[in-house]
Homo-oligomer: A and B are copies of this chain.
Amino acid sequence: MRILILGGDGYLGWPQSLYLSSQGHEITIFDNFMRRHFDLERGFHSLIPINTLHERVAAWKEVSGRQIQLYIGDTMDYEALTSAFRDVQPEAVVHFAEQRSAPYSMIDRRHAVFTQTNNVVGTLNVLYAMKEFAPDCHLVKLGTMGEYGTPNIDIEEGFIEIHHKGRSDVLPFPKQPGSIYHLSKVHDSHNIMFCCKTWGLRATDLNQGVVYGVETDETTQDARLATRFDYDQIYGTALNRFCVQVAAGYPLTVYGKGQQIRGDINLMDTIRCIELAIASPPREGEYRVFNQITEQFSLVELAEMVVRQSERFGLEAQVKHLPNPRVEAEQHYYNAAHTGLVELGLEPHLLNGSVLESLIQVAIKYRKHIDRNLILPTVNWRTTKNEVYRTDS
C-alpha cells in the first residue's frame, strides 16, 4: 500500500515508518524537523543518540534493501503538503505531525498560539489535501486519551449512547482536555468528524495513551535506526523518565499525589495498532475512533514498579512527590474502554518485569548522556509566563 507518514522523523513516526516498510508497504515520510528544532533551541537531547533522517533512511536501505521516500516540508505549507499528496497518491496517511507536548503548550501565549495554530491548521490542510487530491485515502490520525480528561463515568471509544428525558442518541463523547495541547487535539477531532460527514472522507482517530518503550524489531537491527528517548521536562513522559531517573540515581519525581491514572501502551503495540487500522479502513464518510491503550496505571503505581525492578540492578530508588505543576484531578475514577483494536487483532504486550528491565537497561547503557538539569518541571499551568530553564538538582 502507498502510505504517507506525516511526522515520520519523530519518536513514533520513525519506528512506524520502518515497521510498515518492513511489511512491504511503499513509505513516504513528510517531516519538517520541528522536534529536532526544539532540541536545538533549548539544548535538550534524546538519551539515545539519533542519526539524521537522511542517514536513517540510507541505513534502512542498507539493512533491509527497502527505500523510504522523503519530503521535507511543513503541514502548514499547503503547497508543500499537496505536492506530496499529488506525487504519492497515498492510500493511507498516518498523521503524527503535531506539536505533542502539554508543557510546551503551557509555556506562554506564544507557545499556546503556536501549538493550536500548527496542529489545527496543519490538520485542516491535511483534510483539504485529501478532499482535493486523494478523496479515497484513509486518514489515520494520532489523537490522545487526554482529550477525555477524567470524567466520573466510563470512557467509551469516541462516542457514547446517551439516554436523556425519554429519548436517546449516540453522540461524541464529551471532552475535558487538560492543556492547550490536549485542546488542540479535541479541535482536530471535531474538524475531522465534520469533514468525514460533509465530504465523505474516511478517518480513524486513535486516542493514544502514554507510550513507553524505545526498541522495536526494526530499530534494533542497526544503531543508526534507533528512535529517540526523551526524559526531559517538556517531552519526556512518565515511565520513560522514571527509568532514566533510576539509572541516574535521581529520585523518581511524581507530580502531586500521583493518584492520576492514565492509559498506557507499549511502543510495539502502538505501531501494530496503526497497521491494524490501515488494514481495515472505515467506510466512506466514516469517522472511527479507537482508544489506543492496553492498560491503565496511576503515576505512583508506575513509579513503584520501576523502584521494584531497579533492585535487580542493585539500584536504590526513591519516589519524590513534587508540587503538581499541572492543574488536574489527583484522585479520580478512571475506566477507559479499549476493545476496538483488540477486535481488529491486537495482542497486547503488557507492562511486566522484563519490559521494565529492558527499559532500565537502555537507560543504564546511555547513563553518561543523562543531563540531570533537564528533568525538573519549570512550566506551571497556573502562570502564563513560564521559562524552560535548566535546574540544578
Q: In the assembled complex, which residues on chain B have CB atoms less than 8 Å from the CB atom of A167?
A: 152-154, 333
CA distance in complex: A124, B89 (Å)? 36
Chain B proximity mask over A150-172: 1 for CB below 8 Å, otherwise 0: 01111000001011110111011
- B-contacting residues, A120-165, CB 8 Å: 120-121, 124-125, 128, 131-132, 151-154, 160, 162-165
Q: List 9 A-B contacts (CB under 8 A).
A: A116-B121, A128-B384, A152-B169, A153-B165, A153-B171, A160-B162, A172-B175, A177-B194, A183-B194
Interface size of A by Cβ–Cβ distance < 8 Å?
A: 50
Give the segment of A91-99, A184-192, A220-228 that binds chain B. Answer: A184-192
Interface residues, chain A, CB within 8 Å of chain B?
A: 78, 109, 112-113, 116-117, 120-121, 124-125, 128, 131-132, 151-154, 160, 162-165, 167-169, 171-180, 183, 186-187, 190-191, 193-194, 197-199, 327, 333, 381-382, 384
CA distance in complex: A169, B152 (Å)? 5
Whether B169 contacts A164 by the Cβ 8 Å rule is no
Whether B175 contacts A190 by the Cβ 8 Å rule is yes
Q: In the assembled complex, which residues on chain B have CB atoms less than 8 Å from the CB atom of A125?
A: 109, 113
Whether B176 contacts A172 by the Cβ 8 Å rule is yes
CA distance in complex: A283, B167 (Å)? 33
Shortest CB–CB separation between residue A135 and chain B, in angstroms?
A: 10
Whether A120 contacts B187 by the Cβ 8 Å rule is yes
**Which partner residue on chain B sits nearest A147 by CB separation?**
B190
CA distance in complex: A128, B110 (Å)? 10
